[in-house]
């Protein structure tokens, strides 16, 4: 699991350019898939058909997004400095000192205009990328080129740190769940979605095709366990989070109950999640067609949307256990 996570997090894949990530996943899941297809938006849909024929079988869509936050070059000045805009939630406070890799392999460092206020992170519009060019004509980056953080994966005991843990850690959890399921009464669609970070775009179109009865996103969530962090219930290492609410979605209470009951029965640690900022693919799935029963399993993650996002290995393992337990048995809703 750790080596797959290293490979995936070190792969370039900003929103709209998920191809390299998708190739790795395709190779990994092929032996376990009954059907695989890539839709027009680039999402990879992997189907695992029911292995046992039982009552209460459901068509279930699981989603983890392949894309990561990044930037797009918007202007090159006469000295070859690249101005950029956010492609997804890149914030100034995390961008200072970062290295950015562009789609053609060119790497640059983020510099900034003179600060007026040294205590405040400047806006992205006050930053630029220095790719080593001296003029517009020798600049190897052109307007419209996409970039993403360049940062290597590292381990600190059980704590794993990399760029794009959001949501490659969710991608790994889905892959490992697909591998772990020995039998299921359900028609399962494991979807590796595109363009989540720019507004949950790939999940919506994939859900329209699949027309699921239940949708579950697997994504990261912010924690409240660091100095002076916001008061939220999620801690690193204390188990997968059962989403109850985020600003984009109210989870279906039946899905919350299904997740909680399964965790308690299987003695898997879990946490209840109320997230104060952000949303997930579950929002897009829930609002597809005439509406879908939806929820989300969240992986606690510190420093979300920085180039050093931190997750805990036990949380990943327990997420796989919880999903496997949920999907291996029939489920009945009132």
Q: Which residues are catalytic?
A: 196
Residue 281 sits in the site that holds Zn ion (CB under 5 A)? no
* C-alpha 307 chain-centroid distance: 14
- Size of site (CB under 5 A) for Zn ion: 3
28/167 with CB nearer Zn ion: 167
Residue 145 touching Co ion (CB under 5 A): no
Cβ distance to Zn ion smaller for residue 15 or 328: 15
Contacts of Co ion in 3-32 (CB under 5 A): none
The least distance separating Zn ion from the CB of residue 65, rounded to whole angstroms, comes to: 6
* Residue closer to Co ion, measured from CB, 224 or 269: 224
User: Which residues, listed in sequence order, are joined to residue 298 by a DSSP beta bridge?
Assistant: 219, 241
Task: For residues 217 and 297, give the distance between their C-alpha atoms in angstroms, rounded to a whole number.
Answer: 6
Q: What does 219 interact with, of Co ion, Zn ion, none (CB < 5 to 8 A by kind)?
A: Zn ion
Closest approach of Cβ 133 to Zn ion, in Å? 33
Is residue 189 within 8 A of residue 60, CB to CB? The reply is: yes
Closest CA to 311 of 163, 197, 179: 163
204 near 95, Cβ under 8 Å? no
**Nearest-CB residue to Co ion?**
166
Give the CA dihedral 13, 14, 18, 24, nearest 10 degrees: 20
Shortest distance, position 69 Cβ to Co ion, whole Å: 6
- Minimum CB separation from Co ion for residue 197, in Å? 5
- In the three-class reduction of DSSP (H, G, I as helix; E, B as strand; rest coil), residue 27 is classed as helix
Cβ-based nearer residue to Co ion, 141 or 299: 299
Q: Give the H/E segment covering residue 7.
A: helix 2-9
273 contacts Zn ion (rule: CB under 5 A)? no
Q: How far is the CB of 220 from Co ion (least distance, A)?
A: 7
157-176 binders of Co ion (CB under 5 A): 166
CB 161 within 8 A of CB 154: yes
d(CA 27, CA 47): 15
Binders of Zn ion among residues 210 to 249 (CB under 5 A) are 219
Tokens 């995936």 -> residue: 8
Task: Kindly identify the residues of this chain, within the stretch 149-168, that bind Zn ion according to CB under 5 A.
Answer: 166-167
Spell out the alpha helix ranges (H) of the chain. Answer: 2-9, 19-29, 92-95, 165-180, 201-210, 253-265, 281-286, 313-328
Answer yes or no: are the C-beta atoms of 198 and 87 closer than 8 Å. yes
Which CB, 145 or 166, lies closer to Co ion? 166
Residue numbers of the site for Zn ion (CB under 5 A)?
A: 166-167, 219
Residue numbers of the site for Co ion (CB under 5 A)?
A: 166
């Amino acid at each position: 699991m750790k080596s797959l996570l290293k490979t995936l997090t070190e792969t370039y894949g900003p929103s709209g350019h998920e191809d390299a990530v998708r190739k790795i996943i395709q190779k990994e899941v092929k032996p376990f898939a009954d059907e695989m297809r890539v839709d027009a938006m680039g999402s990879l849909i992997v189907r695992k058909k029911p292995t046992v024929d039982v009552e209460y079988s459901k068509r279930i869509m699981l989603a983890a997004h392949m894309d990561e936050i990044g930037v797009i070059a918007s202007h090159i000045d006469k000295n070859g400095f690249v101005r950029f805009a956010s492609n997804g939630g890149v914030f100034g406070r995390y961008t200072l000192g970062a290295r950015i890799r562009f789609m053609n392999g060119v790497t640059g460092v983020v510099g900034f205009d003179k600060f007026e206020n040294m205590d405040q992170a400047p806006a992205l519009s006050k930053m630029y990328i220095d790719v080593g060019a001296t003029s517009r004509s020798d600049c190897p980056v052109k307007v419209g080129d996409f970039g993403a953080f360049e940062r290597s994966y590292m381990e600190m005991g059980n704590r794993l740190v990399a760029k794009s843990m959001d949501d490659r850690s969710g991608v790994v959890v889905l892959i490992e769940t697909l591998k772990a399921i020995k039998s299921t009464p359900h028609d399962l669609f494991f979807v590796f979605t595109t363009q989540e970070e720019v507004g949950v775009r790939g999940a919506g179109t994939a859900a329209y095709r699949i027309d699921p009865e239940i949708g579950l996103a697997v994504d990261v969530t912010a924690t409240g366990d660091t100095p002076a962090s916001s008061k939220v219930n999620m801690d690193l290492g204390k188990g997968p989070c059962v989403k109850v609410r985020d600003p984009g979605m109210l989870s279906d209470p039946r899905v919350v109950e299904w997740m909680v009951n399964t965790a308690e029965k299987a003695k898997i640690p879990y946490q209840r999640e109320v997230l104060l900022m952000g949303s997930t693919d579950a929002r897009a799935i829930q609002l597809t067609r005439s509406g879908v029963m939806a929820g989300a399993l969240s992986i606690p993650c510190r420093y979300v949307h920085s180039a050093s996002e931190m997750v805990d290995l036990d949380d990943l393992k327990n997420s796989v256990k919880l999903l496997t337990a949920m999907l291996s048995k029939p489920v009945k809703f009132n």
